[in-house]
Amino acid sequence: MNRCFIFGALKVSRLPIKPESGDFIITADKGYDTALSLGIDPDLAVGDFDSLNRIPDAENVVTLPVRKDMTDVGYAVEKGFERGCAEFIIYGAVGGALDHTFANVAIAHDIARRGAKALMIGEEYSFTVLHGSSFTFEARESGRISVFALGGTAQGVTIRGLDYEVEDRTIESTSHIGVSNAFVGKEATISVRQGELLVVWQTE
């Protein structure tokens, strides 16, 4: 079992990446209703269920206390790691309350530092965090994409196939030089040799 799909509380109307047989599917709080509305039956439902306003009628449910040291999505990620998942596709976790979006950036950052991959997919924007790694996008005719250093200095940043290309660039966490790049109809690759890079793009 390699991939973990997590559904958060925010609206999800489409799935650019769909679960397949063998994927581990978790819903976090109100994400339970979101998954059901998309015809997806979760393997596990977790949360304090303050936004769902009920305990899910599901086979596997973990009810969390309202006062806790991590978010419902963060707890779902830990359950995914327990199952040995190395890739996390997380829906309904971008947008809405700004503090929760920042929390999900931190979660993606933690996933990357632990050697796994995370894709946070929202209705308007999506993001991932690279940790000494690369990410390739299929050719897109349009859309904004930005990169930011996380946790210090990102070294060896290379961007190919976008409107602005760079080779072996160093970006500090205080810099905003990577904002508002654009897709130009080519396959695009972003990589960082050392450090962490937050990559944010408009969802197709």
The pLDDT score that the predictor gives to residue 66 is 87
The pLDDT score that the predictor gives to residue 183 is 98
Which positions ≥6 away from 59 have C-beta within 8 Å?
Answer: none
The pLDDT score that the predictor gives to residue 6 is 98
pLDDT tens track for 4-28 = 999 998 889 889 999 999 999 999 9
As a 3-state breakdown, the chain gives helix, strand, coil percent values, each rounded to 5, of 15, 40, 45
The pLDDT score that the predictor gives to residue 122 is 93
Of the listed ranges 26-40, 45-59, 178-192, the least confidently predicted one is 45-59
The pLDDT score that the predictor gives to residue 119 is 97
Residues 42, 27: Cα–Cα separation, whole Å: 6
Q: Which residue has the higher pLDDT, 1 or 73?
A: 73
pLDDT tens track for 100-133 = 899 999 999 999 999 999 999 999 999 999 999 9
The pLDDT score that the predictor gives to residue 1 is 57
Q: What is the mean pLDDT of residues 58-70?
A: 89
